[in-house]
Structure 1
Amino acid sequence: MDKQRENILLAKIRGGDKKAFEALFRQYYPHLCLYTTKVLKNPSAAEEIVQELFVLLWENRKKTKIESSLQNYLFRAVKNHCLNYIKHNQIVNEHSKKVLAQTEKFYSGENIDTQQELFQKIEESISELPEKRQKIFRMSREEGLKYNEIALKLNISVKTVETQIGLAISTLRKKLRHFLIF
């Protein structure tokens, strides 16, 4: 596409012409997806990044200034999005490794006393719940019953079951907060 046609297309897009934007999308979307897939080796992430780029382009159409060619702008933008995606994934992976290491350390033989203390404290905390809440919580967590099954067995509403479980979890979080290292 020559510079003059690009400028006309961009002017139409800035003016809110959806057909012009669709033409731009149809022309560049497949090429940008292919490029991004080669960079990321993840087709679904690649499509998401390219779609996000077009959404941002449309949302910022009035203030976006493209000095170089439209094609260069789009490929440079998608490259930057790929780099951000890669950096973000590296941070997430590092965090996951830290959490995994903490979990492995906690569940190793070194922390058997802490584990036993935690399980004992959990059981004590559940036992301290009001009788009806405790029963509903145990039916859900220990027996693996669904909310509607509990409601039927106890002849109460599903909403009551949801409320009681929510309150039980909230109470347990408060009582066990110093164990919540993750």
Structure 2
Amino acid sequence: MSSAGNYSEKDIPQRLSEGDEQTYRQVYDRYWNRVYSVALSFLKSPQLAQDAVQLVFVRLWEKRDKLKDVTYFDAWFAALARNTIINALENRAFRLADGPVDELIPSDFLTPDYLLEYKGALALINDAVAKLPAQQAAVFKLSREQGLSYAEIAQQLSIAPATVKSHMVRALNAIREYVRLHSGDAFLVTWLLTAILEYFF
């Protein structure tokens, strides 16, 4: 993630640690759908997924003082979401009234090993993109890296917008299949792929 609202990823931790409610709201708006989609894919229940999402954002606010030295907010937040969702998946209590925060989420959950896992999952997706056919890769990069619309990509590549969409769908399917075959952390791959899907659709 490059930004939440008008703030860069580097700014978000500091602003949240200072109790900036506007930044919190922007993070909520930016991440809600992703957290819900990932939670639903693991919990298989819309109600449990909604409960987990609510708790993730409560935990974010409660843990904001631990963000001062965080550089990779997306990785930190993914760790928070993963722990919360896995706790729910394991049938632990995760209602708002249940127990102290630290019973569920240790204060040092973003470890160096976890950050390596996060970067590894991201690298796996980047490897998948590098192996796409030339036209699919071009469409993917123009949309993902330059933020061009399907119509703009179609004009630049001299192809129909429907063809652009077709290339994008095939690219995303190829990326999913590549990461499935090469395993990796299931949660992190789902987290990062969901971000890509949200970006395009």
Shorter-chain TM-score above 0.5: no
Higher RCO (C-alpha 8 Å, min separation 6): 2
Structure richer in helix, relative to its length: 1
What TM-score bracket applies, with the shorter chain setting the length? 0.3 to 0.5
| TM-score, with structure 2 as normaliser | 0.39
Greater Cα radius of gyration, structure 1 or 2? 1
